[in-house]
Amino acid sequence: MGLRYFMETIMTGRLNGKVALVTGASKGIGAAVALRLASEGASVIVNYSSSQAGADKVVGEIKAAGGKAVALQANLGNPAEIGPFVEQAAKAFGPLDILINNAGIYEFAPLDAITPEHFHRQFDLNVLGLLLVSQHAARLFNKSGGSIVNVSSGVSTIAPPNSAVYTATKASVDAISMVLAKELAAAKIRVNSINPGMIMTEGAAAAGMEEGGMKAWIESVTPMGRIGTVDEIASVVAFLASDDAAYVTGETLHVTGGLR
């Protein structure tokens, strides 16, 4: 997805005037989501932890297409950085309307290899980081409400071997989404979880999943017979972020090609 995508896409305008914060948006699903939300009219804060070049590329593509975006760095696995980061994000274009909690990390290990470090690396970002970003963002949302979309994973129900910790983080995200949907309903903030199946991103390719047996196994057990794309995830996120999903909250939407 890039400038050509914007030039060829008829903008629906369903997010015109909205301000969206997308965490972990320098590459992969997060980058695709940032580009999709911008293509539909949102002003987008592109968060990154270490890849400034990736974030700047996403921002550059949005601006080249006539949209508004800014890149903001923060390590969301460090609680001390989260409050100042969210406050800065809310000053970029005004009060937030949309929060996409996409930042996350995955590491696989069999039971015998699990360590406290392996556990905390994933829980500190995937769960605690998501909670604290949501906490600070909810305080700075537009008074008319908005939408929080948590990017979980199909592993929360597929539960593949050697993924005990990662699967636990994503099952936690599903539960958190249901709880916060009830807590934030009075503030007119909807909260939903999207659970992608296997998506070939830069991270997945770097982990060897493109060539290894994992991809072949996923394709063999997925009813649609293939893995997904970042754009297929971004389109569903955009729906949940928009008023087209105005009566949808507390849901966990699996986008896995039918694999459960």
Annotated catalytic residues are: 166
Residue ranges with strand state E in 97-202: 98-101, 146-151, 189-196
What residues are paired with 96 via a beta bridge? Answer: 141
Question: Angle, nearest 10°, between helix axes 28-39 and 230-241?
Answer: 50
Other beta carbons within 10 Å of 239: 16
Cβ–Cβ < 8 Å for 31, 60: no
H or E stretch at 80: helix 79-92
- Cα atoms in the Cβ-side hemisphere of radius 13 Å centred on 56: 4
Cβ–Cβ < 8 Å for 57, 33: no
How far apart are the C-alpha atoms of 122 and 46, rounded to whole Å?
21
Cβ–Cβ < 8 Å for 39, 14: no
